[in-house]
Structure 1
Amino acid sequence: MEAIRDIRHEPHALNSAMDRRAALKLFMTGVAATLASCGRPPEEIVPYVEIPERATPGVPLRFASALPLAGYGRGVIVTSVEGRPIKVEGNPRHPASLGSTDLYGEATVLSLYDPDRSKAPYSENRTQSWSAFEAALRPRLDRHHAEQGKGLVVLTRRITSPSWLAQLDVLKRSMPQMKWYRYEAVEDDAIRNGAKMAFGRLATPLPRLSDVRVMLTLDSDPIGTGPEQISYARGIVDARRPQAPADSLRLYSAEPDWSLTGALADHRIALPPELIRNVAIEVARAMGAGFEPADLPDEIKEFAAAAAADLQARRGAGLVMAGPRQPSEVHALCHWINAQLRAPVDFIAPVDPVTEGHTESLRSFVSDVRGGHVETLIIVDANPVYDAPGSLGLDEAIRAVPFKAHFGGYRDETAQLCTWHLPLTHVLESWSDIRAYDGTASIIQPLLIPLYDSRDPHQVLAMLQTEAGPSTLDLVRNQWTSAASGKDRAVLWRQTLHDGVVANSAFAKISLPSVSLPKVAPATAAGRFSLALAPDPSVFDGAMANNAWLQECPKPFTSQVWGNALHVAESDARELGLGDGEVVQLKRGETTLEVPVLISHGQAPGVLSTTLGYGRKHAGTIGSGVGFDVYPWRDAESPWLIDNVTVVKTAQRSEILQTQHFFDLEGEAETLQPRLTLADLASGNFHFERPGSNPPTLYPPVEADTYEWAMAIDASACIGCNACVMACQAENNIPVVGPDEIAMGRDMHWMRIDHYVVDGRPGFSPTPCMHCEHAPCEPVCPVAASIHDSEGLNVQVYNRCVGTRFCQSNCPYKVRRFNFAGYADGQEYGNLGEDIVKAVFNPNVTVRSRGVMEKCTYCVQRISVGRRSAEREGRRLRDGEVVTACQAACPTKAIHFGNLSDANSRINALRADPRSYSLLGELGTRPRTTYLARLQNPNPDYGKARS
């Protein structure tokens, strides 16, 4: 395999890394100085596919790398055009991505070009230099080295990078009294402690979900946001594919508020989080545990009995999982239950090597500060002033440290309290490595030279050494090739970069002692209200709050954007006299917080819930002042659950921005998203408007010359994660419109995820353009801007469109978007109009101007690339050769795309599936986008699935 030339040995290469045409364009837009580094970095990086030695201008290159989330890696393939990373997709070789992505990975490229990123060192209210910082730091380091590190503290987020850990180990050996603390806001302390309680040592469970046939989740959301989401979602959905009831996964869920797992479940109950342990006790009692009966309503006892019987009937294929909001003893009890079930679970040593809990680590740090033991504090890629539990008082502790240096991508809340703030490189600008949740290691490759005067974390740790060390590239390379020699070493390194995965690096399975039955006391209901917290499905823990794509990404269940809300159960809202958008005051002790309310149907009474990640004061132009901050309410002893909360109604209102609004459909939702059981499927007791049905019409027949493109979406497999929405935005240059435009109903996403509630159960339905064969939008356009092409695509000719919006009015699916303003052409939201942001644009997709209509195109640019490639080889496109952006991103492979003129294509088989139906097919539009009905597998002995 040939690789990109090594431009370290070509002095002219940095200037020629962009072609002349691209450089001239940048000069014309005034960004040539800023983007001079948008070329390949001055070390050799290896592409994912074979290419000629000298890249062809305009031809994209793809590089394997990895992206962090909560400290763990997910393998990605990053597409770069002439030195500009523009698109992230999943690495099929990586076990945490399996070729798919999540919305955070897709949004990474926008963060790279964020104008608010730190550009130079900063101290004493002015821009400084790195040499000035080193001059201030050096005397302190000399003293710390002389005293074996006494008084020196390094504070980071969770670290799973072997190279980072090796550097920290070397630093610790040279300065034995130096201390390293780490803290991750989305922590798993209860899960880790539960394994230690059960087995006497820390261990990480890895369920073999493909082998599970009955699953009970206790306040657990394995397919929700997190580093394991793609792998877990794929495993659960694959196990639920249509098959015989005994072979298809049946899912039970007990939870206080809606989760993606609960929405997918066949049976779900809602109850306060403290009572979920009683469900675990009842299940354990059914398996022989000598507990006293737990206090539960009869309906909940029936649920627990049904789940327990189902689990016992499938020994060897049953699994119980608890979530991070449950205490350690519940996790230990789940391990005992799984042992009785011979559950398909493997265990590995923790990938996070620190045995101390995250909140305990911060507590130790604060104790050291208050004891006067911290003189120099180095904070690397962490923002504890914002995201630490309020009860720890991190801000006061950091203020008390004499010298503190903050290395990060932004001058955030922690940077504001530090003596120095130093810019850290973006993950796409630097070398490193990282492990996935199962221990699989990946190399992080830089896609371009750092845009600003920043340093990577390895360089930061190297500063703390007395002697100069190797470069970051050499450091990472030596970590993985030291056992090889000569030519083998070079071959191993290049193969590892190409694959994006270090071969055989996943942690080995370990054997654990038998688990004994833990002592678990039944719980009673807490105070009037308890507050349940969770990572936000759009901005996660808040570190990415300045990313406009994420801020405008609609949340599952509510479609809320640009903020968070307090979710209140329907019965509680009636009792308190609350409606959507009304502001209430939360009180706990002396702490108060005013928040807007959003009523949640199906939430447990007595439970309030909301998400982390908002209320940032120093996030940047996009993220500051959006939503409210609940981190100060977190308690170190119970960071996810807050009890004894009082709710006081106020006279204020606050608009909650949503992109989908609910209407009383009086049963019509079931026609928009029909649902079947496995028994229905087996009996054929159902009828849908079949694709290909041809009611009478005045439209002329549709004729295709070579290909007939179509899409099929499996509603059973869609988990509502928004990966497809974010992938579509990144691929197609879809603009952000901002909260004011959203308030007027002017969102611009080409792909949206509609949610329908049928019999109290929500379901998700990805909705792109239907590409109707009999498209109502076409005959009403006075300038023929909306037309059919020869391959059946409903295309939009932007330079013809005069903005009448007749097509939008005539579209029954409401999938067309109108540029009321120049969202990407002079009237951008916030700082998105700055020149650096233009670097994120896909050059193969037109950037639309004000006054035109736009919509999903089935990624026609990808079809064109595939067609040209096939024509050069003198053949037709093969089935599956063209993959749309939404299809590539989907973690569960719910979206399929292909050619109807190929009789053997997968898309034809899906349209012939008994579950296949057309959305609003009775209108006679003959959509090329069709669906497979949602399939459920309820327990017939338990009765109808409960909401």
Structure 2
Amino acid sequence: MYWRSLGELADTPEFRRYLHREFPEQASEWTDPKGRREFLKLMSASLALAGVGACTKQPPEDIVPYVRQPEDIVPGRPLFFASAIPFDGYAQAVLVESHMGRPTKIEGNPEHPASLGATDVFTQAAILGLYDPDRAQTITNRGEVRGWGNFLAALQSALSAQKGIQGAGIRFLTGTVTSPSMAELLATILRDYPQAKWHQYDSIGRDAARAAAQQPAGTASAPIYHFDKAEVVVSLDADFLSCGPASVRYQKDFARARRVTDERKEMNRLYAIESTPTLTGAKADHRLVLAAKEIEGFAGQLAAALSAGGAPSPQASPEWAKWASAIAKDLQAHRGRSAVVAGDFQTETVHALAHAMNQALGNIDATVTYGPALGAAVPDRSASLRDLVAAIDAGQVELLVVFDGNPAYTAPADLHFGERLMKIGLTVYHGLYVDETANLCHWNVAATHPLETWGDVRAFDGTVTLMQPIVAPLHEGRSADEVLGAFTVQPDRRNRDIVKDYWTRAFGGGGGWTIRDANGQPYKDAETFWRRSVHDGFIAGTAIADGGPATPFVPAPRPVTPPPAAAGAAAATPGNTLAQRNPPAPPPSATPASPAPRPAAPTAVPMQPSPDPSRASGSSQASSRDGSQGGLEIIFRPDPTVWDGRFANNGWLQELPKPLTKITWDTSAWIGPKLAEARGLQNGDVVVLKYRGNTARFPVFIVPGHPQQSVTVFFGYGRQKSGRVGTATKDAQQFNAFLLRTSDAPWFGDGLEISKTGDRYLLATTQEHHMMEGRAPVRVATLEEYAQEPSIIAEQGEKPPKTLTLYPEHVYDGYKWGMAIDLTSCTGCSACTIACVAENNIPVVGKEQVAIGREMHWIRVDHYFSGNNFDHAVEAYHQPVPCMQCENAPCELVCPVAATTHSSEGLNDMVYNRCVGTRYCSNNCPYKVRRFNFLLYQDWDTQSLYPMRNPDVSVRSRGVMEKCTYCVQRINQARIDAKGEDRSIRDGEIVTACQAACPSEAIVFGDLNDPNSQVSKIKKQERNYGILEDLNTRPRTTYLAALRNPNPELGE
């Protein structure tokens, strides 16, 4: 039995009423008081209605001809540019599609070694961030618009006062910095102002992971996992499939090791020991639910079973012992072919035990390798922020520059950073938005978007990735390099000059490291190297595994004659600065860094559970297992769609249903069913959370598989200043998890108190939308069952013979398009949904419209649960659902104006100009994949959004039905290219938007008439099936059934 919500499982009256409504709530009403029936009464005849509907006035559009045609631009043909989107300091390599100078779509860079073309939801949505009308647009001083020259003058005045004291009052606050050019600028500034200090703080930091990976010599290393080589994976509260700078590559590698074909009937096995349910846990073959504080105890139990240090926890239950014994046996049987992964949000002890277990299992240099930790100039970011706060309290900070962060909102509540910010004499904020921190700073310097600027940033594997401007800056913004350059003797340098000069010097810097091309050959000159690297989007050979530089490479500086005042400042005696204790890079006068030998695994030291409350292990001192009495555990996590709040003003991400709950536009406090029952709570009940003297309010949401004595809250909401989309409404301003977070317990802790207020809050969730009543769309089997009896998948459904139909048989002499989706590979990340939104001009409708079932996404990701043990045995499955493109399409027969038709290549086409909005097609679609424009959802008032729209896709107006088209515009472009070259379309030449974005390569598209095409071969597998096949719709979109690989010792 498979179910999508607890309401469906319990078959509540509310669920039945929603399910049996023919149309979504209020779907028959327009914006004015007159209903649709009244509207029809006012029309003279149905023919007149059809004529009026088909002649709906479209918004006006202006066209501007070229007087002189630019080189390389062909009207109607996009150009693609390689670049990068930084996220939490690390590069996400991209190819940006540009139409006539307008970036419209982001794809992954398939040549980049760190991602191999994969992207995530944040990267896909970055295109909307570029055109966001609420971006900071200029330089301001206390709210007054100023110019760059005014800012330089004010800054030079402040620096003059600092030169005599060697910059003792200067502080820089950044996030993780992996940019080599930015590291050089900071090193230069810290050399010129020896008493200045550089602080780093990441709201979603990985301090415990960094601390546990310290080498005996004090240098930091970082593990890189090779999931394509691991046959057994153990996750210790690690959401490696959807969280972290390497997640897209990890998804791809993990899916490849899990992919089953008729020739290869084997796959990896995943054990997830976790607290808050995650997408990684949903893919696990076995999932054990523990409180976050109990993970450390279980890790010790498992390490003891492997003789890798650690010790059995005194609070261990018989269930723990059973799981630890079974997992240990499996790991021992796969020595050198397994991996133990610790979660970024777990304790230092858990990470150290994971390192020790991998070492004991012989996994080092096989499935786990170690490289220098990138951006590790400040290993403990929380301590760095505390040091800054202490310096502010001591009156030592006179000038603070904050880069690309929002500490007034994201800093731990006990630091009261916003209040302290106002004590500083001069504050400068550099960011994309006028947010909470910008609102408290004296100077605001608008930041350029990554698609507007030059830059360099390293991917998780060390590969240096170059950013190039795809479009000229839309506003008066400056890059971080340019702002830092204002502190040097060349304050007016442009960011392109900074980056190119850095790498030109690196090319000729010597020092034992030679820059080579992708074939391993040296470049003939610096200009060839630069142009090739910009073209490719990355510098070949800079990954740590390829012998790239271990530290941010700083070449010898170009000789510059400083003015006398600056020369005097540079000669000052250096002091005990942060830069000397943890240098971000070698000093500029040093020779280039040589390739460093790859670090070994951190020294394995048997570790006992820490008595620190923020790292406590075992069961709660005061709570019962179901949380009905005493205090509870609170767990903090980044939000899967707005992260730490930085994407709160992105409407695409706000409207994206969150994995597992499908909540849109809001956050919630997750609780387990037993805790909900004990406290008398239902979805949407507002509760007050009290933790360590801090208070916040949240609506609750009941999540199967959540630890019963814990409450999980997510960062990113309750924003006070975040634009027209992200700023919280009055009743949601307390939905802020940062109000509860403290610096000594950043990820979990005991002592939470929860109390019901009696208030209710509407949560717009799509979990019960578009239900297929009484059907089982997901088919599942174990690997052993499938290997023994491949027909087990077909036996789970009924497929009528092709001859049993009243429809005329379609004949396809040319192409016959189809799609296959592998449910074993799909992780439910929803990158396909955002890619489809960006490609097909899909509008945002808002929370109220989503709540009544009017979301417009052409491809949704349904989430199904199986089982009734809510503690941990609830299995989860993801199923992307686009249009099925049925051969016997029910929608085509009922349209009175033939707006939906069957093409000669098998597509169910929509003719928008014919559609009169009867919605008969939607009512007759058993898959519920059609979307109707009840209102004019497209934003025609915000002119900055005009250039964002894809010119190859029609923009739909009110009263028009729409749906997935298999990216017909891409099909047509490939057809034009093939015709021009007098050939057929090659297999793999057409890549749909959802397929291109999918990190796990779960979606395959192609020509079914070609027996050698990949999609044809996939559809011949025994696992292939269609949803609702018993209806004889013969869908072109089919699925490969989900397979699991359970350990017989633990059962299914």
Deviation sequence 1:772-816 (CA, Å, 0-9, x none): 000000110000001101000001000000000000000000000
Instruction: Kindly indicate whether the alpha-carbon contact (under 8 Å) linking 2:799 and 2:1030 is maintained by their aligned counterparts in 1.
Output: no
Residue from 731, 748, 752 that aligns with 1:645: 752
Query: Counterpart in 2 of 1:730?
Result: 838
Query: Counterpart in 1 of 2:778?
Result: 673
Q: Give the letter for the 1:260 counterpart.
A: L
Instruction: Kindly indicate whether the alpha-carbon contact (under 8 Å) linking 1:695 and 1:924 is maintained by their aligned counterparts in 2.
Output: no
Query: Counterpart in 2 of 1:367?
Result: 390
Q: Alignment identity in percent?
A: 42
| Cα displacement (A) at 1:197 | 7.8
Instruction: Kindly indicate whether the alpha-carbon contact (under 8 Å) linking 1:553 and 1:561 is maintained by their aligned counterparts in 2.
Output: yes
Query: Counterpart in 1 of 2:449?
Result: 426
| Cα displacement (A) at 1:526 | 4.5
Query: Counterpart in 1 of 2:886?
Result: 772
Instruction: Kindly indicate whether the alpha-carbon contact (under 8 Å) linking 2:200 and 2:378 is maintained by their aligned counterparts in 1.
Output: no
Query: Counterpart in 2 of 1:301?
Result: 321
| Cα displacement (A) at 1:468 | 4.2
Q: Give the letter for the 2:633 counterpart.
A: S
Deviation sequence 1:160-206 (CA, Å, 0-9, x none): 10000011111111111111111111100011111228886421001
Q: How does 1:429-444 map to 2 (within 5 A)?
A: 429-444=452-467
Query: Counterpart in 2 of 1:625?
Result: 728
Query: Counterpart in 1 of 2:978?
Result: 870
Distance (Å, rounded) in 1 between the aligned partners of 2:494 and 2:760 = 55
**Counterpart check, 1:799 vs 2:913:** yes
Residues 1:562 and 1:481: Cα distance change in structure 2 (over 3 Å) = same
Distance (Å, rounded) in 1 between the aligned partners of 2:266 and 2:850 = 45
Deviation sequence 1:798-850 (CA, Å, 0-9, x none): 00000000000000000000000011165xxxxxx301111110000000000
Deviation sequence 1:667-721 (CA, Å, 0-9, x none): x56x311111111111115142588952621111112231000000000111010
**Counterpart check, 1:327 vs 2:347:** yes
Residues 1:184 and 1:228: Cα distance change in structure 2 (over 3 Å) = same
Distance (Å, rounded) in 1 between the aligned partners of 2:835 and 2:111 = 20
**Counterpart check, 1:917 vs 2:1019:** no
Instruction: Kindly indicate whether the alpha-carbon contact (under 8 Å) linking 2:435 and 2:721 is maintained by their aligned counterparts in 1.
Output: yes
**Counterpart check, 1:810 vs 2:924:** yes
Query: Counterpart in 2 of 1:884?
Result: 992
Residue from 268, 292, 312 that aligns with 1:249: 268
**Counterpart check, 1:655 vs 2:762:** yes
Query: Counterpart in 2 of 1:3?
Result: none
**Counterpart check, 1:210 vs 2:233:** no
| Cα displacement (A) at 1:284 | 1.3
Instruction: Kindly indicate whether the alpha-carbon contact (under 8 Å) linking 1:74 and 1:94 is maintained by their aligned counterparts in 2.
Output: no
Residue from 167, 171, 180 that aligns with 1:149: 167
Instruction: Kindly indicate whether the alpha-carbon contact (under 8 Å) linking 1:750 and 1:816 is maintained by their aligned counterparts in 2.
Output: yes
Residues 1:247 and 1:316: Cα distance change in structure 2 (over 3 Å) = farther
| Cα displacement (A) at 1:209 | 1.4
| Cα displacement (A) at 1:392 | 1.5
Q: Give the letter for the 1:421 counterpart.
A: N
Describe the SS at the equivalent of 1:621: helix
**Counterpart check, 1:402 vs 2:422:** no
Distance (Å, rounded) in 2 between the aligned partners of 1:548 and 1:388 = 25
Instruction: Kindly indicate whether the alpha-carbon contact (under 8 Å) linking 2:242 and 2:248 is maintained by their aligned counterparts in 1.
Output: no
**Counterpart check, 1:222 vs 2:240:** yes
**Counterpart check, 1:346 vs 2:369:** yes
Instruction: Kindly indicate whether the alpha-carbon contact (under 8 Å) linking 2:403 and 2:480 is maintained by their aligned counterparts in 1.
Output: yes
Distance (Å, rounded) in 2 between the aligned partners of 1:808 and 1:822 = 19
Distance (Å, rounded) in 1 between the aligned partners of 2:924 and 2:506 = 66
Residue from 516, 529, 544 that aligns with 2:632: 529
Instruction: Kindly indicate whether the alpha-carbon contact (under 8 Å) linking 1:97 and 1:231 is maintained by their aligned counterparts in 2.
Output: yes
Distance (Å, rounded) in 2 between the aligned partners of 1:366 and 1:695 = 76
Query: Counterpart in 2 of 1:520?
Result: 609
**Counterpart check, 1:267 vs 2:374:** no
Instruction: Kindly indicate whether the alpha-carbon contact (under 8 Å) linking 1:587 and 1:645 is maintained by their aligned counterparts in 2.
Output: yes
| Cα displacement (A) at 1:408 | 1.2
| Cα displacement (A) at 1:355 | 3.3
Distance (Å, rounded) in 2 between the aligned partners of 1:513 and 1:187 = 20
Query: Counterpart in 2 of 1:707?
Result: 815
Distance (Å, rounded) in 1 between the aligned partners of 2:103 and 2:769 = 38
User: Structure 1 length as normaliser, TM-score?
Assistant: 0.91
Residue from 636, 646, 664 that aligns with 2:743: 636
**Counterpart check, 1:601 vs 2:624:** no
Residues 1:672 and 1:246: Cα distance change in structure 2 (over 3 Å) = closer
Residue from 94, 100, 105 that aligns with 1:76: 94
Query: Counterpart in 2 of 1:108?
Result: 126
Deviation sequence 1:286-319 (CA, Å, 0-9, x none): 1224735542222232112111111111111121
Residue from 386, 398, 406 that aligns with 1:383: 406
Q: How does 1:454-469 map to 2 (within 5 A)?
A: 454-468=477-491
Residues 1:692 and 1:100: Cα distance change in structure 2 (over 3 Å) = farther
Describe the SS at the equivalent of 1:777: helix
| Cα displacement (A) at 1:917 | 0.5
Note the aligned Cα RMSD (angstroms): 2.3
Q: Give the letter for the 2:974 counterpart.
A: G
Instruction: Kindly indicate whether the alpha-carbon contact (under 8 Å) linking 1:866 and 1:882 is maintained by their aligned counterparts in 2.
Output: yes
Distance (Å, rounded) in 2 between the aligned partners of 1:822 and 1:320 = 51
Residues 1:933 and 1:367: Cα distance change in structure 2 (over 3 Å) = same
Query: Counterpart in 1 of 2:876?
Result: 762
Describe the SS at the equivalent of 1:338: helix
Instruction: Kindly indicate whether the alpha-carbon contact (under 8 Å) linking 1:690 and 1:918 is maintained by their aligned counterparts in 2.
Output: no
Q: Give the letter for the 1:153 counterpart.
A: R
Deviation sequence 1:330-367 (CA, Å, 0-9, x none): 11111111111111211011111313311111111101
Residue from 643, 667, 673 that aligns with 1:564: 667
Q: Give the letter for the 2:1036 counterpart.
A: R
Distance (Å, rounded) in 2 between the aligned partners of 1:125 and 1:84 = 31
Query: Counterpart in 2 of 1:46?
Result: none
Question: Which deviates the most, 587-596 or 268-277?
Answer: 587-596
Query: Counterpart in 2 of 1:505?
Result: 542
| Cα displacement (A) at 1:512 | 4.6
Distance (Å, rounded) in 2 between the aligned partners of 1:334 and 1:340 = 10
Residues 1:467 and 1:500: Cα distance change in structure 2 (over 3 Å) = closer
Query: Counterpart in 2 of 1:829?
Result: none
Residues 1:809 and 1:246: Cα distance change in structure 2 (over 3 Å) = closer
Describe the SS at the equivalent of 2:915: coil
Residues 1:691 and 1:473: Cα distance change in structure 2 (over 3 Å) = farther
Q: Give the letter for the 2:608 counterpart.
A: K
Query: Counterpart in 2 of 1:830?
Result: none
Instruction: Kindly indicate whether the alpha-carbon contact (under 8 Å) linking 1:73 and 1:96 is maintained by their aligned counterparts in 2.
Output: no
| Cα displacement (A) at 1:523 | 2.6
| Cα displacement (A) at 1:590 | 3.0
Query: Counterpart in 1 of 2:533?
Result: 496
The count of corresponding residues between Structure 1 and Structure 2 is: 894
Distance (Å, rounded) in 1 between the aligned partners of 2:248 and 2:490 = 42
Consecutive unaligned residues of structure 2, counting only runs of 5 or more, are 1-58, 509-522, 548-597, 611-616, 623-630, 868-873
Residues 1:526 and 1:874: Cα distance change in structure 2 (over 3 Å) = farther
Residues 1:571 and 1:232: Cα distance change in structure 2 (over 3 Å) = same
Question: Which deviates the most, 191-200 or 807-816?
Answer: 191-200
Q: Give the letter for the 2:992 counterpart.
A: T
Describe the SS at the equivalent of 1:622: helix
Q: Give the letter for the 2:860 counterpart.
A: R
Q: Give the letter for the 2:643 counterpart.
A: F
Residues 1:730 and 1:171: Cα distance change in structure 2 (over 3 Å) = same
Q: How does 1:693-704 map to 2 (within 5 A)?
A: 693-694=801-802, 696-704=804-812
| Cα displacement (A) at 1:517 | 2.0
